[in-house]
A and B are shown apart, each in its own frame.
Chain A
Amino acid sequence: MELNELTARQLNERLQKKEIKAVDILESVFRRIDRVEGQISAFTSLDKKRAIDVLSSLDKKGKTEGNSSLYGIPAAVKDNICLKDGKTSCSSRVLKNFISPYSAAVIKKLEEAGSVVFGKTNLDEFAMGSSTETSFIGPTHNPWNIEVIPGGSSGGSAAAVAADEAIFAIGSDTGGSIRQPAACCGVVGMKPSYGLVSRYGLVAFASSLDQIGPITKDVYDAALVLGVIAGSDRRDSTSIPDLPKKDYTTSLSAKVKGMRIGLPREYFLSGLDSEVEEAVREAVGLLEKSGAEIMDISLPHTEYCLPAYYIIATAEASANLARYDGVRYGYRTSRQMDLGQMYERTRGEGFGDEVKRRIMLGTYALSAGYYEAYYLKAQKVRTLIKNDFDEAFKKVEAIITPTIPAPAFKIGEKIDNPLQMYLSDIFTISVNLAGLPAISLPCGLSKGKLPIGLQIIGSYLGEEKVLNLAYAYESQTDWHRRKPKLT
């Protein structure tokens, strides 16, 4: 097996035994990139030199004992997370050549742990989309079938990990943008509780919903990376204060005996692909056999998640994206004219259709006379959705659902039908509205040889239970070891 195919945990062991050098890992990753990136297009930019410089100096230091488990392991990071002196394009024309003057809090944490960013991964423009097709540089392809979408918006991160072009990657999740592409690409993706990971340096889409999380090859690595990037941050007022440093891998016992798991009936209604339902029920059966107690539960306001989400997320986005105006940085129209026209043309030319659609939706929802009917109402619905989960978690310790309603679709299939596209996130959105942790992990392959994802949702700050349940399932299956055949 090549080094690029291994997990962070496996590589860490070899580094500890001094069987390999950190630079060897990066070389292996880049050999793979040279071979398959032409088909996948997972990255928006790569910086091998920078990574080599950092890793060779780590190698020179030579000390490996007591080092963090990400020491010497390179990271791929979604291109909406700021990297000092590196490009941060958000896959948008408006930030195409933008160089950030600072690094995001997560990147600093990764670097402190001895990791280094070697590449930025493709996404739907400003993380708005479920297929990575709205990227200004073009779509990313699913390693399992290059005619198929990798999911989105963290499609580049998920595809890079699935194609072994990265050991692990960092994504962001506003309505499913880590979990949905992880499911599409057959890898593990986790969205932590809102406030567990600092958002400082994550280019905001919808501030009250955005969270950064890991995309990895297995559950153990997800726990490993989460431990590195989680923690309080003064610069992010919404980050949870006084969080103790935690090693999430220590909670992975794989014991689930007596654990109460809820299946929300609203997530298993018509419209759910039969292969997906079968795979998820099979996974639940396996956990039941291991001693978990399966219960039927209800999340009665589920049908309102999607409309509430598309009002709140677009409203926040309409304000968050107002700063891309051509005045201080980024793209500016070359047709110079008065201020108003400069704004209009810069934004008209700089943003793609989906971003414009959401800015307009959000602007409308916040307009005088509509605010109460839309934004305020959506916030009330959000409270009801949170209450649903609170009630459910009085009865159960975790909730299991499919991650996506059907396996990934073909590139181009839904790009002209935004409503169909929005339905891709139907099972993941509620988790962001409620601020809860959730993981997606592979639980099967469709007849068309496309991955199926299992979503495990936990209570607020219940990351350990989520991870442990996922680990228990993963330990009894080998879906996570299946690799796409790329030529």
Chain B
Amino acid sequence: MTIHEIRDKMIAASVYQVIIGLEVHVQLKTESKIFCGCSTEYTLEPNIQVCPVCAGFPGVLPGFNEKVKRLALRTALALSCEIAFFSQFSRKQYFYPDIPKNYQISQYDLPLAKNGFLKIKAEGKIKKIGITRVHLEEDAGKLLHAIGSEALEYSLVDLNRSGVPLLEIVSEPDLNSPEEAFFYLQELKPLLRYIEVSDCNMEEGSLRCDANISLRKRGAKKLGVKAELKNMNSFRAVKKALDYEAKRQEEILSQGGEIIQETRLWDEKEELTRPMRRKEEAHDYRYFPEPDLLPLLIDEEEIEEVKRSLPESPAQRRERFQIQYSLSDYDISVLTAEKDLADFYEAVVKEYVKEKKLSPQISLKSQRRDRPVEQYYKKIANWVMGEFKAALKTVKNSIQEAPVTPVDLARLIIKVEDNKIPVGTAKKELKKAMGIKFGEISLPASATVISEENAIKKVIQEVIQENKEVVEKFHQGKEKALGFLIGQVMKKTQGRAEPKLVNKILREELLDTGRQG
């Protein structure tokens, strides 16, 4: 056995219980920001969705976007929370260039909702994970400390994200393994997408997760000292970071050591956590009620109305799929993972039934015993999960944008059934139908990366002309001057120039100017 294997064995037979609580931040899908009219659309071009309010200019005031309340309410109710009739915004104060006011408008002692739960499936059993609180806040901007691999001498501030509505969902420390944490996130994300409150795109930052983890001896009542983990960019990373941290803490404790309460950052490359700040270095946020905003008032009627408008949750849908279509657990989990896919599946079934002029079947479990399960449910599921989903993935299209409609697919399946075309041809046809249309869809100009050498060269030459003193410094051997020049190029191209090319061409051009000089 290797040392690692021995260690893993020891952990498996651990005397410690892992306690995990998750803090999930989701961006709410509103058209405009929480306290101003700026667009919330994700964009690479920096500082174009900014106004005096979300840039924290003198004299501005926040105006609450009522649509945010509705989405927050949907989420809180989908998580079975108690809604506060009276909740309040507070100012959370700390200095950092990504929060323009140097305080964040958030909720503190009077959050929007409390005491909810989310059911997860762990080791074949259903487990109820408590939701401590759900509260609203504004997102911060973004800082850029490097362009590509080039560290900058200064930092760039992008306030496009500043003021995007965020919902923080805090779980109880009910999760007892990194796997459970992973399952929790895997249950939460589709739920939020089903109820259409967030895109939950971790790459674009519309879903972010921090984790609190501590260990205690099995049977002990008192919680151990916790570490807060940040900087995980995927659900897998959350699990890996928790795995690492559980082992780290276990090692310390089993050797009689003590855990220090601290915030630790996950290093994705090295696959380990590093200390960021200790408890005693923790901020005193000096919270106090936001005097520029009125308390958030919600009445019974509004709650009832939102409740009525909530769609089926993924859990409810899974249950229904099992009863209605008698599909396998695996098929159900694939089909219901995304609301759009489940909707698409059901639409194909409907069209199929229509085309075949079948009487609509409602094969409830009770009836199933005396009636054979409709074979076409499984057949359609195979097409949707297989060829259709694969094609969708290849062309990176969303289901709404897919050129193939449920009718198209239903007809194609029927054609195959009727032996009008062979399966292989039908699959090819489907791919073709999905692919051809894709060629017609072009990316918006603002999102494209400039990778054309001549275009970048032109900008670089301008920058060199405009910054002769800095160029001079570079030639005197000041490598830092390069960082500044790169920054200028990125500024002119609004961050769209390919960093590697900028670096390469800039060095070439600088050499040229050096020779001329």
Beta-carbon nearest neighbor of B290 in chain A: A207
A315: interface (CB < 8 Å): yes
User: Complex: how many Å from CA A201 to CA B63?
Assistant: 13
Within 8 A of B (CB), among A254-280: none
Q: Are B58 and A322 in contact (CB under 8 A)?
A: no
User: Complex: how many Å from CA A236 to CA B288?
Assistant: 19
User: Complex: how many Å from CA A252 to CA B402?
Assistant: 70
Given the known inter-chain contacts A104-B59, A200-B59, A328-B55, please indicate yes or no for A343 contacting B284, CB distance below 8 A: no
Per-position 1/0 for A310-334, Cβ under 8 A of B: 0000011011001111011100000
Q: Are A366 and B288 in contact (CB under 8 A)?
A: yes
User: Complex: how many Å from CA A431 to CA B62?
Assistant: 25
Per-position 1/0 for B63-77, Cβ under 8 A of A: 110000000000000
User: Complex: how many Å from CA A325 to CA B157?
Assistant: 14
User: Complex: how many Å from CA A375 to CA B288?
Assistant: 9
Residues of B within 8 A of A327 (CB): 97, 100, 157
Given the known inter-chain contacts A319-B288, A343-B95, A368-B286, please indicate yes or no for A203 contacting B52, CB distance below 8 A: no
Q: Are B63 and A319 in contact (CB under 8 A)?
A: no
A145: interface (CB < 8 Å): no
Residues of A within 8 A of B292 (CB): 204, 207, 237-238
A460: interface (CB < 8 Å): no
Beta-carbon nearest neighbor of A94 in chain B: B58
A82: interface (CB < 8 Å): yes
B323: interface (CB < 8 Å): no
B294: interface (CB < 8 Å): yes
Residues of A within 8 A of B102 (CB): 322-323, 325
User: Complex: how many Å from CA A453 to CA B59?
Assistant: 30
Beta-carbon nearest neighbor of A89 in chain B: B58
Beta-carbon nearest neighbor of B64 in chain A: A237
Residues of B within 8 A of A315 (CB): 288
Q: Are A368 and B284 in contact (CB under 8 A)?
A: yes
Interface residues on chain A, number (Cβ under 8 Å): 44
Interface residues on chain B, number (Cβ under 8 Å): 29
A222: interface (CB < 8 Å): no
B60: interface (CB < 8 Å): yes
Beta-carbon nearest neighbor of B92 in chain A: A319
B57: interface (CB < 8 Å): yes
Q: Are A100 and B91 in contact (CB under 8 A)?
A: no
Q: Are A235 and B61 in contact (CB under 8 A)?
A: yes
Residues of A within 8 A of B284 (CB): 367-368
B131 smallest CB distance to A (angstroms) = 26
Q: Are B57 and A237 in contact (CB under 8 A)?
A: no
Q: Are A101 and B52 in contact (CB under 8 A)?
A: yes
A88: interface (CB < 8 Å): yes
Which one of A101, A363, A366 lies within 8 Å of B57 (CB-CB)?
A101
Q: Are B101 and A199 in contact (CB under 8 A)?
A: no
B177: interface (CB < 8 Å): no
Beta-carbon nearest neighbor of A336 in chain B: B154
Residues of A within 8 A of B60 (CB): 200-201
Q: Are B58 and A88 in contact (CB under 8 A)?
A: yes
Q: Are A323 and B61 in contact (CB under 8 A)?
A: no
User: Complex: how many Å from CA A82 to CA B61?
Assistant: 13
Given contact pairs A199-B61, A316-B291, A328-B56, a sample of 5 additional A-B residue pairs in the complex whose CB atoms are under 8 Å apart: A102-B57, A200-B61, A207-B292, A238-B293, A368-B286
What are 8 A-B interface contacts by the 8 Å CB criterion? A88-B58, A90-B58, A237-B62, A319-B101, A319-B286, A323-B100, A366-B287, A371-B288
| A residues adjacent to B (C-beta < 8 A) | 80-82, 88, 90, 95, 98, 100-102, 104, 199-204, 206-208, 234-238, 315-316, 318-319, 322-325, 327-329, 339, 343, 363, 366-368, 371, 375
